[in-house]
Each structure stands twice: as C-alpha cells, then as structure tokens.
C-alpha cells in the first residue's frame, strides 16, 4: 500500500483488513505534507498530533471488530468549518486567533467514519473569491504550476488533494467554489443538492447557497465521502429530511441510454482554441460512451451572474454583521462602541469582503430592496424553472467547469473579470442542483509553457446525486485524464 497515492477505498480496505494501520498511514503522510506544503501553501494549520490521536482511535475500533468506511483515510478540512480545538479562521484576519469550540457536522461524520484530520486548508476570505488570492493569511499555489492560482474559494482543499497532500478534503461551494478549483487542480470536486449535507459548523457566506462537498482524486472516493456526510441533521434547519441513496456501490461504466444536454447559452465559441478543443473532445467522448447529446436551452442563464452578485452579497452583509469585535475574533478598541465596530471591521476584513458587504447592504437598503434583492430572487426562480424544463429533455447537463485553465497570479485584478470566471457554475448553484467537476483533459494556456488541467461540469436534477456520480464515474474510467498529468510540487 502507498498511503500517499492510494485511493480512499484502498486505504480503508487495508486498514479494516489490518494489513496496515491508521497509525502507519499517519506517520507516512505527516513528514510528506510538511515537506510539500512548504511549496504549495495549501494548509493554514497542520494538526499532526490530532491526526495521530485519531489514528490510534481508528486502530482500536478496527481491532474491536468495527468496519469503518474511511478507516485511516487522510482528510483535509477547509478552514471555514469548525473542528474542536483548532483555529478556524475563514482565511480572515478578523478570525485569525479564533479556536473552534465544537465540530461541524460534516467534519464529525468523516471522523466517525474513520478519517484522519491532517489540517485546515487555506481559502479566499470567507469563501469570497474564484482564485484563492483573497486569503488574508497566506498564498496557495497550483500543484501543476506554482506560478498559477489553484482556483477558489476552496483553494487549499483542491491544491492539497491535487498535490497528494491529502487523499480527500472537504470544501464549500456557494457559486462554484468546489467545482472551479477542482478543474484547475486536476481532481474531482462535488457539490451536492443544497440541503443534502448539513451546514452546521460552516461559517456562513450566503446561507441559501452554501453547500459542503468533497474533493477526491477519483469519483468513487467522492461517492464514498458523500455517502458518509449526506443526510438530515437536526442541528441544521436547512438540511433536507429525505432518504439518501448510497452512491459508492452504484457507479456505472458506460452512458448507454443517457440523454446529455448541451446548453445553447453555454457556447464554446468564446473560449480560446485550446480550451474549446478540450471540451469538444469531452463531448465526443460522452457520445462514444453511448450517450445521446441533445440541445437544451436556459434562457435566463445569462442573468445568473447579476442575480448571484445581488443575492450572495446581500446574505453576506447580514451574516458577517456578527463579526463586530464583541463576542469573538479581532477587536480594535475605539472611543465608543460605534468606533470600535468601525475600526474592528476596517482592520479585520479584506478588500473583497468589504466590497461584497457594501454591495449587499446597498441592495437591502430602504428604497432599493424591491429594485434589486427582490428582483434577483424572482430571477433565481426563473433560472430554476428553466433547469426543470431542460431536464424534461435530458438526464444530465454538461458544460465547462471554467472558461480557461488556471491563470497566473494577479492576472485578473479587475473584480468583474474575476466574477466572470463563475459564468458556468453559478446558474446551477442558484437552482440548488447537484453538480461536479471531473478532469477532462489539459490545455496549454496562452501565456504558458505546460498544459494545465481542465474540468467538465456535470449537473443533474435535484437529489439525483447517485445518478450524477454514476455518469461521472463512467466518463472518468473511460478517459482517465487525471492520471495523464503529474504535479510539479
């Protein structure tokens, strides 16, 4: 067994069979991560002693006869999810010293299943960003080119798995924050249906959009994680009380009889030639696997960005009001309470967070609520209805996960240019749909010297995670794109 490169299923199988131990996995991984992360910067905090402690518990449980689905599997946690006794910063100075007093439900379910926590991963501050460049606490690099971004906001979670610093990781996706970095880092990134996974213990950005999901190096491992973390949680009123169909044992090897929708509005014509060729080849591979490509339309998709960048900032301005220097986190004293609030938030929040708070506060303000926020919510409903009509003609919708390969640091300093990176991922998020990115090849960037990974986005109807993972598995097994690239870190 090679705990640095083996799949989660293989590691759990061997630990459960006692042909190796969780302790051995931990001792193999800890020095490797410490060495590699000096280049990648995927982690904000490593937790080697906590990892060893959980390894001892896993080995004791296995020795007592338990069979754990993730026994001894190393996992990284995005640092906007609470893990008792660890710093939980959300990549922000305002929470730089905050230590979590409890553990997020999704994280706890992983630990209960036998996973070993390696550490907390870097992210765009409060998960606001598409590149990973907005973290106030460090820079994360792409494992396939250290001069390029890993994608965001789940930058460290994607980079850690892509750079073989973790077998699995958890991220959160509000408008594409799992799928885009997965595409950039040559891994699978999966966002389940909104409400399918508990958000308890996740630091909120936009509560009606945020969803926790896994990163993995193969679809089967992503399905294993999904089976563990999905399901109703009484601690989260937005989690859905609906039976979870296990996915890991129901994966498929072909796409015969599957109708795959290609969205008219998601044209490839605007992409550079190298990226367009990758996606055209991916669509051809789907047909080769037996799928029928059908044209579908999402007439309101073009309003996705405008809709999202009203709803998400509005919810962000409300959620981040709690960070005021009174109860926890950074506090900068002032002459009175008002000045203390002002100084604390000025010092604690970065430029992108401040920008979105201002946008959201304006959209919710008296006299503008109906013109902006209410209209955006109506547009969101129309987008969801368009998806429902499209799925009457197909079982699955495919599109690019991102409009280009990973770009160089500081290449998109204009906020609007950065927001446009989310064009393909945001509509599905607004509709609450399950969606994932699976490696689909590599393209040479116009300013690059080596091909960079790209991801194919697959989206399916609400609560069809089992089918979606099956489709992705069939494509992955037939193409094996992830295995054709080697990280440089």
pLDDT of residue 414: 87
β-pairing, 452-459 with 396-400? antiparallel
The fraction of the chain above a pLDDT of 70, given in percent, is 100
Q: Assess contact for 73 and 168: CB atoms under 8 A.
A: yes
Residue 396 binned pLDDT confidence (cut-offs 50, 70, 90): very high
Please tell me which residue in 21, 135, 177, 403 is annotated as part of the active site: 177
pLDDT of residue 151: 98
| Ramachandran region, residue 172 (left: φ > 0; alpha: ψ -120 to 50; beta: rest) | beta
- Give the angle subtended at the CA of 144 by the CAs of 92 and 213, to the nearest 5°: 50
Q: pLDDT tens for residues 41-55? A: 999 999 999 999 999
pTM of this structure: 0.97
Q: What CA–CA distance (Å, rounded) separates 114 from 58?
A: 6
pLDDT of residue 366: 82
Q: pLDDT tens for residues 351-382? A: 999 999 999 999 998 888 888 999 999 999 99
pLDDT of residue 481: 98
Q: What is the dihedral of CA 130, 465, 246, 283, to 10 degrees?
A: -90
Buried b / exposed e along 308-345 (16+ C-beta atoms within 10 A): bbbbbbbbbbbbbeebbbeeebbbbeeeeeeebbebbb
pLDDT of residue 489: 78
Number of alpha helices (DSSP H) and beta strands (DSSP E) in the chain: 15, 11
**For the chain, how long is the longest CA-to-CA vector?**
70
Q: Which whole number is the average pLDDT over 278-291?
A: 98
Q: pLDDT tens for residues 418-471? A: 999 999 999 999 999 999 999 999 999 989 889 999 999 999 999 999 999 999
> Could you give the count of Cα atoms lying within 13 Å of 301 in the half-sphere of its Cβ?
22
Q: pLDDT tens for residues 230-267? A: 999 999 999 999 999 999 999 999 999 999 999 999 99
Reading the block at residue 131, the tokens are: 């590149």
The fold of 1-323+369-489 is Amidase signature (AS) enzymes (3.90.1300)
Q: Is 198 annotated as catalytic?
A: no
Residue 327 binned pLDDT confidence (cut-offs 50, 70, 90): confident
Please tell me which residue in 21, 78, 120, 429 is annotated as part of the active site: 78
Q: What SS3 class is residue 212?
A: strand
pLDDT of residue 368: 86
Q: 479 phi and psi, to 5 degrees?
A: -110, -35
Q: pLDDT tens for residues 2-13? A: 989 999 999 999
Q: What CA–CA distance (Å, rounded) separates 252 from 283?
A: 18
485, 480, 17: which is closest to 253 by C-alpha? 480
Q: What SS3 class is residue 324?
A: coil
Q: What is the dihedral of CA 115, 119, 121, 125, to 10 degrees?
A: 120
β-pairing, 43-46 with 116-121? antiparallel
Q: What CA–CA distance (Å, rounded) separates 156 from 79?
A: 9
In 3-state terms the chain splits into helix, strand, coil percentages (rounded to 5) of 40, 15, 45
- In the β-sheet with 396-400, what is the strand arrangement from edge to edge? 43-46, 116-121, 74-78, 168-173, 211-216, 188-191, 435-443, 452-459, 396-400, 259-263, 292-296
pLDDT of residue 413: 83
pLDDT of residue 367: 84
Q: What CA–CA distance (Å, rounded) separates 64 from 199?
A: 32
Q: What CA–CA distance (Å, rounded) separates 307 from 304?
A: 5
The residues spanned by each domain of the chain are 1-323+369-489
How long is the chain?
Answer: 489
Q: 154 phi and psi, to 5 degrees?
A: -80, 55
Q: Is 177 annotated as catalytic?
A: yes
Give 424's contacts (C-beta < 8 A, 6+ positions apart).
Answer: 176, 266, 399, 400, 401, 402, 403, 457
Reading the block at residue 295, the tokens are: 């044209």
pLDDT of residue 1: 76
β-pairing, 396-400 with 211-216? unpaired
Q: What CA–CA distance (Å, rounded) separates 76 from 150?
A: 16
Q: pLDDT tens for residues 85-132? A: 999 999 999 999 999 999 999 999 999 999 999 999 999 999 999 999
Please tell me which residue in 153, 198, 435, 437 is annotated as part of the active site: 153
């Amino acid at each position: 067994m090679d705990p640095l490169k083996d799949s989660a299923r293989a590691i759990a199988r061997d630990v459960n069979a006692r042909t190796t131990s969780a302790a051995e996995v931990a001792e193999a991984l800890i020095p490797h991560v410490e060495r590699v992360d000096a280049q990648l910067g995927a982690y904000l905090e490593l937790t080697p002693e906590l990892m060893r402690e959980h390894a001892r518990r896993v080995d004791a449980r296995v020795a007592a006869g338990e069979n754990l689905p993730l026994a001894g599997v190393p996992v990284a946690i995005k640092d906007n999810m609470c893990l008792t006794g660890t710093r939980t910063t959300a990549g922000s100075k305002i929470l730089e010293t905050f230590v979590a007093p409890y553990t997020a439900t999704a994280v706890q379910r992983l630990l209960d299943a036998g996973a070993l926590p390696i550490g907390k991963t870097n992210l765009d501050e409060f998960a606001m960003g598409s590149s990973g460049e907005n973290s106030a606490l460090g820079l994360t690099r792409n494992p396939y080119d250290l001069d390029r971004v890993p994608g965001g906001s789940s930058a460290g979670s994607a980079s850690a798995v892509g750079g073989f610093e973790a077998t699995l990781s958890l991220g959160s996706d509000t408008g594409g924050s799992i799928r885009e970095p997965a595409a950039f880092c040559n891994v699978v990134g999966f966002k389940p249906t909104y409400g399918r996974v508990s958000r308890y213990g996740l630091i909120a950005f936009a509560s009606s959009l945020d969803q926790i999901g896994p990163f993995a190096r193969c679809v089967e491992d992503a399905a294993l994680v999904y089976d563990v973390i999905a399901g109703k949680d009484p601690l989260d009123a937005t989690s859905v009380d609906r039976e979870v169909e296990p996915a890991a044992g129901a994966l498929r090897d072909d796409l015969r009889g599957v109708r795959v929708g290609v969205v008219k509005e998601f044209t490839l014509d605007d992409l550079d030639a190298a990226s367009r060729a990758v996606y055209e080849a991916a669509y051809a591979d789907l047909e080769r696997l037996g799928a029928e490509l059908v044209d579908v339309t999402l007439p309101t998709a073009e309003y996705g960005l405008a809709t999202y960048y009203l709803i998400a900032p509005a919810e962000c301005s409300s959620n981040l009001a709690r960070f005021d220097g009174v109860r926890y986190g950074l506090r900068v004293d002032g002459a009175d309470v008002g000045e203390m609030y002002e100084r604390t938030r000025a010092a604690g929040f970065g430029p992108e967070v401040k920008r979105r708070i201002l946008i959201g506060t304006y959209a919710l303000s008296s006299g503008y609520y109906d013109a902006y926020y209410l209209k955006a919510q109506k547009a969101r409903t129309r987008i969801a209805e368009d998806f429902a009509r499209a799925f009457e003609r197909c079982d699955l919708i495919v599109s690019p996960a991102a409009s280009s390969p990973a770009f160089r640091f500081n290449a998109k300093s204009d906020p609007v240019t950065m927001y446009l990176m989310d064009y393909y991922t945001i509509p599905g998020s607004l509709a609450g749909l399950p969606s994932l990115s699976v490696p689909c090849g590599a393209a040479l960037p116009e300013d690059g010297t080596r091909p960079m990974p790209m991801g194919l986005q697959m989206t399916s109807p609400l609560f069809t995670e089992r089918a979606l993972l099956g489709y992705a598995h069939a494509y992955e097994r037939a193409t094996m794109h992830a295995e054709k690239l080697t990280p440089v870190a």
